[in-house]
A and B are shown apart, each in its own frame.
Chain A
Amino acid sequence: MRDIAIHVENLGKRYCIGERRETYGTLRDTLMQAMQTALRALRGRGSHHGKAEIWALRDLSFELKRGEVLGIIGRNGAGKSTLLKILSRVTRPTVGRAWIHGRVGSLLEVGTGFHPELTGRENIYLNGAVLGMKKTEIRQKFDEIVEFAEIEQFLDTPVKRYSSGMYMRLAFSIAAHLEPEILIVDEVLAVGDAAFRKKCLGKMQDISSREGRTILFVSHDTDAIQRLCWRCILLEHGHALADGDPASVVARYLSVHSFKGCPNAWIDLSHTARMGTGEARFVALQFSSQCAETAFQPYSKGPLEFSLAVESDAARSVGSVAVSLRDLSGLRLVNADTVLIDRAIPLRKGCNLIRLRIDSLYLNPGVYRLGLWLADPITVYAANTPYDYIESAFEIEVIKVESDGNGLGPNSVVTCDFDVVDVS
């Protein structure tokens, strides 16, 4: 038992959906609710009628050795967050049990417990205490935290005046200086701009490899999982579908429910697995190389045009609409994100059509996975969720049109335009 950090046995968690989503927020809700309940009672039905149950997690067992880094991957609603919540003792399981050996630090969300009115300095103490640090410990690491977050000048400013980037840096910095033996991290860490993600992942790599801590890491992000973890579990509908080395588990994850998309035809996205708030979402998509000779199929070094149908529940401007292409191992090769060209997209309430064009696609012939992202960079920081994010909508085949002389395949990930300029 000495080298076991986490032992999970037949763990299960049941939610009553009705109970979970009921809104008691306002007086109007309450009155409506009361009237509905009364009406139902009059008709002779109980208020529990039709309450659906769902097993968010079922029969899950695994063991995690001390010092191991375990990734948990799965689609939305697969039970990842529920598992983390149980292991970090936020909620209790319905059946089964788990033993945890060692001090646990869990990061289900960065900046939990931050108070906007308090200054950076005050929030470091408050948030540290919330995460389970002792006062002396926080005092010891105070300077380190401030330095990592790069907020020296703003220490005595209320955090509500911070930019979103500063806010995130401070929040992550406090969390990163927590020194638990077992670290439980939710994917929220991976949200943010590229530089920030890199910093977070770097710090986590540090924590695992240099300090030899046990980490349980949940993510949608297949890149991060493969880079960080030594082992990965794929969850689906609360069950463990696969457990093994990250590369093969990720491949398995990406291959579930995928199909090849046809060019120049609308592809319905309304049932595609996704995450995000859904306030604005992709409903359909069309892609085309605008070239009749290839039957509109995308080809190496050719253009690729997307028509994106986006439904929004209100008029809003979104700063980041992105189309990405990944290879089958999940590595993101192309990311055409409007935030990079600084174009905010105004959306009407209702249906909108966005046309986005990649001028030349420097991808080798092969099969790629298409991903879609819709977010406001500012609210992504604040709420930790994009409007809509589809990691893998479907597969796109990139064909070749130029003859490649000797028939040798390309020996690289991407391609480029090149020629011999001169020989002397």
Chain B
Amino acid sequence: MSQQAANLVEPINPVESVANQTQAILIEPPRRWEALELREFWRYRELLYFLTWRDVKVRYKQTAIGAAWAILQPFLTMVVFSVIFGSLIQVPSDGVPYPIFSYAALLPWTFFAGALTRSGNSLVYDANLVSKVYFPRMILPFAAVLSLLVDFAIAFIVLLGMMLFYGIVPGIAVLTLPLFLLLAFMTALACGLWLSAVNVKYRDVAYVIPFLTQFWLFMTPVAYSSSIIPEAWRPLYGLNPMAGVIEGFRWALLSTGQIPSGPIFVSAAVVIALLIGGLFYFQRMESQFADIV
């Protein structure tokens, strides 16, 4: 005991202890609404990186063809769409070959649908982490969405090949592509935040997500062109942010139609509202996650 006691009086590095004084953490009951802890999120950015990296690494482990799935998923869908909608039903494709018309849309759509599914299930999937370790929980849905960006990048290579094949040279508009990707990212994240938070308490969400993505696919001009939507309905159509994203992708890559500026702004406004709401809702539910997950 005396030896241990001697350790008590061992001088503590003064610089260190001053630093400790400033970083005292207060633990108290949750309040109804709390300010967003974005600084805390930033402090844990390395964990965000590692979880994203884990999701990417693990996704195609022990599969025979590995990351080729990232290409095959949108590619095979494109083939099916081309046969059914392009050849059989002959859906108009704004003057570009149907395969590339649909692939340019399937690219952001596959990203979005995958990101939505993964992030919606992220908290339940990592329930073990949530109930045992502290970190800003927002990192989990965020990492899930980020990890799908890698798949997007891989599938994008095929698009470049197809554009080469069809001899399509994008105009200056292609520079706006990251903006549309950002919009898709924010949409997926916003939905992911809402769904994952609800999923913690109601596992029904896990069953709702497949229906949601399927339903949403039909509401979004992936297989068809939004030019078949009557003009009067267009602004309303903009309420679906993914419609704006996909129109934007086609416009930026294939120069079809013109910049759908009206609906895009409606989409952006919807997404920002959804995202801010999602952040606050998520943070409000966060204090209960560990107890009920």
Contact = CB atoms under 8 A, between A and B. Distances in A.
Contact of B133 (A92, A98, A108, A118): A108
A135 interface: yes
Interface stretch (B6-14, B158-166, B231-239): B6-14
A106 B203 contact: no
A137 to B, nearest CB: 10
Interface residues of A, number: 58
A30 interface: yes
Nearest to B59: A117
A209 B3 contact: yes
Nearest to A85: B290
A99 B21 CA distance: 11
A92 B27 CA distance: 7
Contacts of B16: 181
A67 interface: yes
B128 A113 contact: yes
Interface string A181-194: 10000000000000
Contacts of A125: 50
Interface in B1-46: 1, 3-4, 7-8, 10, 12, 16-17, 20-21, 23-30, 46
A109 B46 contact: no
B28 A212 contact: no
A22 to B, nearest CB: 8
Given A24-B202, A90-B132, A125-B50, A99 B57 contact: no
A113 B27 contact: no
Given A24-B203, A95-B29, A230-B1, A117 B58 contact: yes
B21 A89 contact: no
A277 interface: no
A118 B201 CA distance: 29
A59 interface: no
A65 B10 CA distance: 13
Given A129-B46, A209-B3, A89 B54 contact: no
A48 interface: no
A276 interface: no
A129 B47 contact: yes
Contacts of B203: 24-25, 30
Q: Which of A19, A97, A101 has the most CB of B within 10 A?
A: A101
Nearest to A86: B27
B31 to A, nearest CB: 10
Interface in B118-135: 128-135
Contacts of B8: 65, 67-68, 212
Interface residues of B, number: 47
A100 B133 contact: no
B21 A2 contact: yes
A259 interface: no
Nearest to B6: A209
Nearest to B50: A129
B25 A118 contact: no
A99 B290 contact: no
Interface in A90-119: 90-104, 106, 108-109, 112-113, 115, 117-118
A130 B7 contact: no
A90 B127 CA distance: 12
Nearest to A94: B29
Contacts of B49: 129
A132 B30 CA distance: 23
Given A115-B58, A230-B1, A130 B135 contact: yes
A45 interface: no
11 contacts: A1-B21, A2-B17, A27-B207, A67-B7, A89-B27, A108-B132, A108-B133, A122-B57, A134-B46, A209-B7, A212-B10
Instruction: Give the top 9 A-B pairs by smallest Cβ distance, nearest first.
Output: A24-B203, A89-B134, A129-B50, A91-B290, A98-B27, A97-B28, A117-B61, A92-B287, A100-B25
